[in-house]
Chains A and B, each alone.
Chain A
Amino acid sequence: MVGKGCFSGGQRYVDVCSRLGFCAPVSLVTAVAMQHDIGMSHSDLTILVIDENAIRASIIEEGLREAGHGRVTVIHEVQGVARIIETLRPDVIVIDIENPNRDMMEHLFQLTRTVSRPIAMFVDRSDTALIEAAMEAGVSAYVVDGLKKERVKSILDMAVSRFNAFSRLQRELAEAKSALEERKVVERAKGILMKMRGLSEEDAFALLRQTAMNEKKKMSEIAQSVVTAAGLLM
Chain B
Amino acid sequence: MLSAENQTGSKGAPSVSKGEGPKVLRAGFIPLVDASVLIAAAEFGFAAKEGLTLDLVKDVSWANVRDRLAFRQFDIAHMLSPMPVASMLGLGSNPSPTIAPFSLGKGGNAITLSVQLFERMREVGELSETATALENAKALAKVVQTMKAGGEALPTFGMTYPFSSHNYEFRYWLAAGGIDPDRDVKLVVVPPPLTSDALAAGGIDGFCVGAPWNMVASERGLGRIVAAKQDIWPSAPEKVIGMRPDWAQSHPEIVSRLLVALDAAARWCDEADNHDALAELLADARYIAAPVEIIRHVLAGEFSLDAKGNRRVIADYFTFHRGFANYPRPGHALWIYSQMIRWGQLEFSEAGMRAAATAYRPDLYRAALGAGPAESDIGIEGDRDGFRFMDGHVFDPSDIKAYVANFPVGSAQASGLDD
Interface residues of A (CB under 8 A from B): 20-22, 97-107, 109-110, 113-114, 119-122, 128, 131-132, 135-136, 140, 142
Residues of A within 8 A of B71 (CB): 128, 131-132, 135
B304 at the binding interface (Cβ < 8 Å): no
A contacts with B: majority SS? helix
Contact-residue size bin, chain B (C-beta under 8 Å from the other chain): 20 to 34
Nearest 9 pairs of A and B residues by beta carbon: A21-B182, A100-B191, A121-B94, A110-B162, A104-B189, A107-B189, A102-B61, A100-B60, A102-B63
Contact status B188-A101, CB under 8 Å: no
B contacts with A: majority SS? loop
Contact status A107-B411, CB under 8 Å: no
Q: CA A70 – CA B188 in complex, angstroms?
A: 32
Counting residue pairs across A and B whose Cβ atoms lie within 8 Å, the total is 85
Mark each residue of chain B from 317 to 357: 1 if its CB lies under 8 Å from any CB of chain A, else 0. Answer: 00000000000000000000000000011100000000000
Q: CA A99 – CA B72 in complex, angstroms?
A: 20
Distance in Å: Cβ of B416 to nearest Cβ of chain A = 8
Contact status B189-A106, CB under 8 Å: yes
Contact status B411-A104, CB under 8 Å: no
Contact status A121-B93, CB under 8 Å: yes
Mark each residue of chain B from 154 to 195: 1 if its CB lies under 8 Å from any CB of chain A, else 0. Answer: 000000111100000000000000001011000011110110
Q: CA A93 – CA B59 in complex, angstroms?
A: 21
Closest to A136 in B: B73
B64 at the binding interface (Cβ < 8 Å): yes
Residues of A within 8 A of B189 (CB): 101, 103-104, 106-107
Q: CA A100 – CA B158 in complex, angstroms?
A: 14
User: Which residue among A104, A122, A132 has the maximum number of chain B CB atoms within 10 Å of its CB?
Assistant: A104
Residues of A within 8 A of B345 (CB): 110, 114
Contact status A105-B63, CB under 8 Å: yes
B68 at the binding interface (Cβ < 8 Å): yes
Distance in Å: Cβ of B289 to nearest Cβ of chain A = 14
Contact of B61 among A22, A100, A120, A121 (CB under 8 A): A100
Contact of B63 among A103, A120, A128, A131 (CB under 8 A): A103
Residues of B within 8 A of A119 (CB): 93
Which residues of B (60-76) have their CB < 8 Å from a CB of A?
60-64, 67-68, 71-73
Q: CA A97 – CA B91 in complex, angstroms?
A: 20
Residues of B within 8 A of A22 (CB): 182, 344
B92 at the binding interface (Cβ < 8 Å): yes
Residues of B within 8 A of A110 (CB): 91-92, 162-163, 345
Residues of B within 8 A of A104 (CB): 188-191
Contact status B161-A99, CB under 8 Å: no
Contact status B93-A120, CB under 8 Å: yes
Between-chain CB contacts (< 8 Å), 15 pairs: A21-B344, A22-B344, A103-B61, A103-B161, A103-B189, A106-B189, A110-B91, A110-B162, A113-B93, A114-B345, A120-B94, A121-B94, A122-B94, A135-B67, A135-B68
